[in-house]
């Protein structure tokens, strides 16, 4: 009997074998809610998210808080997650426009959701495969997020505002819809 060829991937837990990360329940409306902006420090992420926040304030009279990601490339540490959950009803994070930060935005989303806080992650459309792969790794295959065209980093101030306005309906939809019900 010949020797088997050994597998170099180690002990892999497939996404299917992982417990599915639950998606947070959504509020009916954002009216009067506390919205946390988690800014990932990539160029133009701050003005982009600030404009999203301003639009939400204008339309739904939300209260805003802001935080900068500790490290754009990896998911937030547990204590930051806990604090943000305590301070906010919903969270908007982004802008994922690089390999690691897009994946990290999806990963943060899944973690906040599992803890009961709805998230709208914003990612540029170049990084859909990596965001999807990360969400699946984290037990949330098919995790929904908002996309905007790549690139964002080189946009002028006015263009950034335009982009924020374009994505706002998707953000509201992600934070208020109930996909569990919709899919049923």
Partner 1 sequence: MTAASTEGAAADTQVAAAPDPDEAQRAIEYCYEQGWSDGLPLVPVSKPLLDAFLATTDKDPEEIIGALEQVGRDVNVRTAAINAAMAGCKPGYFPVVLAAFEALLRDRAARGGGFQSTSGPSPLIVVNGPIRKELGFNTAGGAFGPGFRPNATIPRAIGLIVRNAFGVHPHVLEQATQGLPGRWQVCIAENEEESPWEPLAENGGVTGGVSAVTATLTRTMEFVDNRHTPNHEDVLRDFQDTISRIGSQIFPLSSVALVLCPEHAQMFASAGMSKQDVQNWLLERCGRTGAELSSMGKAEVARKTFRGEYEGDEAFHKFLAGPTSIPVVVAGAKNAAISMVVRIFGEWSGTSVPIVEKK
Q: Convert residues 103-142 into a mask of x (bound to partner 1 by CB under 8 A) and - (unbound).
A: xx--x-------------------x-xx--xx--xx----
Backbone angles phi, psi at 90, to 5 degrees: -140, 160
Question: Which residue, among 108, 147, 144, has the nearest Cα to 127 in the 3D structure?
Answer: 147
Is residue 75 involved in binding partner 1 (CB under 8 A)?
A: yes
Residues 6 or more apart whose Cβ sits within 8 Å of residue 154: 43
Quote the Cα angle for 115-120-121, to 5°. 100
Query: Number of residues in contact with partner 1, rule: CB under 8 A?
Result: 32
Is residue 74 involved in binding partner 1 (CB under 8 A)?
A: yes
3-class SS at 23? coil
13 versus 28: smaller Cβ distance to partner 1: 13
Is residue 101 involved in binding partner 1 (CB under 8 A)?
A: yes
List beta partners, residue 146: 122
Among 29, 66, 71, 166, binds partner 1 (CB under 8 A): 71
| Alpha carbons 56 and 40: distance in angstroms, whole number | 19
Is residue 66 involved in binding partner 1 (CB under 8 A)?
A: no
Residues that bind partner 1 (CB under 8 A): 3-10, 12-13, 41, 43, 71-75, 98-104, 107, 127, 129-130, 133-134, 137-138
């Amino acid at each position: 009997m010949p020797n088997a060829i050994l597998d170099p991937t180690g002990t892999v837990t497939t996404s299917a074998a992982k417990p599915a990360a639950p998606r947070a329940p959504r509020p009916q409306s954002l009216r009067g809610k506390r919205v946390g902006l988690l800014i990932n420090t990539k160029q133009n992420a701050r003005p982009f998210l600030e404009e999203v926040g301003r639009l939400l304030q204008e339309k739904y009279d939300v209260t805003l808080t802001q935080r900068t990601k500790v490290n754009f490339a990896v998911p937030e540490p547990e204590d930051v997650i806990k604090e943000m959950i305590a301070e906010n009803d919903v969270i908007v994070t982004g802008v994922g426009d690089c390999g690691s930060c897009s994946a990290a935005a999806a990963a943060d989303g899944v973690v906040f959701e599992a803890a009961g806080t709805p998230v709208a992650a914003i990612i540029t459309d170049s990084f859909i495969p990596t965001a999807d792969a990360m969400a699946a790794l984290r037990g949330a295959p098919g995790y929904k997020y908002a996309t905007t065209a790549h690139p964002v980093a080189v946009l002028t101030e006015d263009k950034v505002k335009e982009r924020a306005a374009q994505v706002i309906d998707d953000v509201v939809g992600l934070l208020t819809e109930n996909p569990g019900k919709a899919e049923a």
